[in-house]
Amino acid sequence: MKKSRRLVCLTNIPTPYRLSFFGHLNDELARRGWDFEAWFMAHSEPGRHWRFENNDFRFHYRIFSGFSPYFRGASFHINPGVFLQLLAKPPDILLAGGAWLMPTTILASLAPQLACRVFWSESQFLSTTHAGRLTNSIRSWFLQRYHAFAVPGMLAREYIQHFAPDKPLVTLPNLVDHTIYGDRVHQLRDHRLALRQGLSLSDRKRVLLISARLLPAKGILPFLGALLSLPTELLSNLVVLIAGEGELRSKIENWIVDHPSPEVILLGQQTEEQMCELYALSDGFALPSYNDPNPLSVIEALWAALPLVLSDRVGNHRETLVTDRNGWLFSPDDASATCRAVASWLMLTGSELAKYGRLSHGIASSAFDAQKVVPVIADELIALWQHKKEARVSP
């Protein structure tokens, strides 16, 4: 009996969007006679609140034991078992995700028998926090250990082309379940007025949603401060909803007490269904991050057909935002530019809001639909493996 080929994706923890993507990739690879496995370095990380049932995993998976020291807001997973498993039963393709300096990821790059090593990188220059000569040398050495790279968009592509020129690249956009953030949100929009009443919101006001962890890198407090420069008539018409938890919660709460206008409501951590309701009742989506390589919330907002107001540090803005057509871009360091972007959104008419939202949904349908994207990803990954295989046997 012919042995099935095998692709293993190594990543840090299970997340809703990864489980959805892995399910699609598993099905697509199976149609090509390949097996798929997901290897996770830990069950969860600090600040992550997802809970999963066994039936959420529609594919073979393992969660490895190990150590996960937490330093400066990041978990550094150390899983010797991953390296040992790669030695004992190397897959045909290893798709390794996570930060390049993750100990387990570095260990995986050293496994000698891997036929095709692909690093899934979301990094981009604006999100690089360590850029000294020594760090860059180590980064380049690590990246050169991989045969190819999977990147979500142009900014990540430019980053890899700088450190590992001439290496093959596969486009692997982060995807969300469109039946939730598209279909479900549009069903809930029929109940928009009731949803707003549930939060004591006027249907005459414009609601801007921020979905982000409450961390300095997300730029929420500077963004709120910039809004104070809006003209009074616009400021009084604005409601900002913030969904998320984090270390800045008390500071944001204090800011809200000290500034009665604009109206800002801090909602805390939300369930998936609650997020769908928030997308359904909102008029726009904002993300004012200083550092955000490839946020999934932006893709969710596209499927929810919302206009976007994004920081230019948001790593997927080139793929998701067309200026003055479905949103606006601003520098988080420029309060006046932030203010102009929000004012432009506030001054749209109702029909213009709908037009911007339709374009957002169109972008989601064309670039972030798993049914269209995953078959291409599977083909490109297998083509990389085939190329490496042919190169090994050629004289």
User: Is the pLDDT assigned to residue 205 strictly greater than 90?
Assistant: yes
For residues 204 and 270, is the Cβ–Cβ distance under 8 A?
Answer: no
- CA dist 361 and 335 (Å) reads 29
Handedness of CA 383, 387, 393, 395 (dihedral sign): positive
> In sequence order, what DSSP letters do the residues of 84-136 get, joined into one string?
HHHHHS--SEEEEES-TT-HHHHHHHT-TT-S-EEEE----GGG----SHHHH
What is the mean pLDDT of the segment spanning 35-56? Answer: 90
2 pLDDT tier (thresholds 50, 70, 90):
low
| Confidence (pLDDT) at 25 | 97
| Confidence (pLDDT) at 128 | 58
User: Is the pLDDT assigned to residue 30 strictly greater than 90?
Assistant: yes
| Confidence (pLDDT) at 140 | 86
What is the mean pLDDT of the segment spanning 195-203? Answer: 96
- CA dist 247 and 216 (Å) reads 9
- CA dist 96 and 269 (Å) reads 29
What is the mean pLDDT of the segment spanning 254-269? Answer: 96
Q: What is the pLDDT of residues 66-94, one digit of tens each?
A: 999 988 778 899 999 999 999 999 999 99
pTM of the model: 0.92
Going along the chain from its start, the domains and CATH numbers come out as 5-175+369-393 (3.40.50.2000), 178-367 (3.40.50.2000)
- CA dist 23 and 18 (Å) reads 8
Mean predicted lDDT score pLDDT of the chain: 93
Strand partners of residue 192: none
For tokens 């990543």, name the residue.
11
| Confidence (pLDDT) at 230 | 97
What is the mean pLDDT of the segment spanning 110-131? Answer: 81
Q: What are φ and ψ of residue 176, in 5° steps?
A: -120, 165
> In sequence order, what DSSP letters do the residues of 148-204 get, joined into one string?
EEEESSHHHHHHHHHHSTT--EEE------HIIIIIIHHHHGGGHHHHHHHTT--TT
Q: What is the pLDDT of residues 323-356, one digit of tens each?
A: 999 999 999 999 999 999 999 999 999 999 999 9
Q: How many CB atoms are located within 10 Å of the residue 121 CB?
A: 27
